[in-house]
Chains A and B, each alone.
Chain A
Amino acid sequence: MIVVHHKAPAACRLLGAWVVFVAFIGCANDSASDRRFAPSDFPQGEAAAPEETRPDIAALQDRLVAYEAEMVALGIARDAPLVVTRRGALGGGVDKEAQPEAESDDMSVNSLESAVMEVDADPAAEKSKCTSICAVAEAVCMLERRICELAVEHSAEDNYQGLCTRAGEDCERATTACDVCGDPEVP
């Protein structure tokens, strides 16, 4: 796992930047992210307050200068090479017609391995993708624990049991993907 030491914050900032970048590209290129969530999907409450729309740019100038200097020190300067993220990130996206919708839900462990290992030859890009997958796996399995604890308290209600079952399947799938990613023995 992650070794915590005194250099951890800088390393983690870089790691976090990678994670978001790769996750972002994945979302931007894939039909799986076509799903969007409306407020009605969430438990509803009071209406949102009106927004202010203009940050005070001038007041932020000093922070900006200092921050940019730190970004340079961290190696994430404005003109940092994009190739470090993933091969093809700026090229063509996924051919959506060649990706049947049912594939994602019915993916076997073997095909999951193939898909997960079908990453860039660049080891850094591969590692960042694995980091993203494992982060999602951790989040999903945490949700599974919470959902299934609730399901125990509502043992007679099908919707709780159903979501617990589905969360379990998601956790297993995500964990498998994470394990495959991190297993050096997998060709």
Chain B
Amino acid sequence: MNLRWRWSSGCMCGLVVGMALAWAMTGKAQDVKPPQDRDALVTLAQLVETEHRRVDLLLKAGDHTGAIRALEALADGAWPSQDRAGEAAVWMRHDVIGRLVRLELDQVDGAPARSDALIARTENRLGDDDGLIAPNAFTARLAGLQGELLERVDRDADALESYGIALEMNRSLLDALIKEQP
């Protein structure tokens, strides 16, 4: 179990770092909004990565409540604006909330005790980015998790809608990868 946590947390940290590096090192974003302040983005990525590690340790110690609180504090804390840190900042927040929702969902078979609050949180954050979000793995994952949450509270029609968004984003990502030219 510990190895699984270490593996998954390692991947998550890598995803965050990779995203920040892609922005900071290439500046090649054409379809997504670039950061005005790359230092802010890199610092944010480092903060998120460090907090993910702290959550890893809390989970390793069996403190799920502490891990959830840490993720909530991170998600609700100071966050650079999209104008300042680019669209990747929004993606990172979606990553954090995605992990939070996953943890909550994994605690119970049915609806989490705070389902309404979690659903509101995902709805709020999926409305980030001035209303337009380029396809990315983090938002796609969060949309899928939102669907899972909605399904557990018997809002099947809404769940289907969320799953549809997640599917469409993943389709776009796959198209981009397959058509990638050498």
A→B interface (CB under 8 Å):
2, 4-6, 8-30, 32-49, 51-57, 60, 63-64, 67, 71, 76, 78, 80, 82, 86-90, 93-94, 99, 103-104, 107, 112, 115-116, 118-121, 129, 132-133, 135-137, 139-140, 142-143, 146-147, 150, 153-154, 159-160, 163, 166-167, 170, 173-174, 177
Contact = CB atoms under 8 A, between A and B. Distances in A.
B127 interface: yes
Contact of B7 (A4, A19, A103, A139): A4
Q: Secondary structure of the A side of the interface?
A: helix
Given A33-B134, A118-B182, A143-B170, A53 B22 contact: no
B14 A33 contact: no
A93 B179 CA distance: 11
Interface string B144-182: 101110110001101111111111111111111111111
A9 B135 contact: no
Contacts of B179: 26, 30, 32, 94, 99, 103-104, 115
Nearest to A9: B10
A112 B15 CA distance: 26
A30 B21 contact: no
A138 to B, nearest CB: 10
B104 interface: no
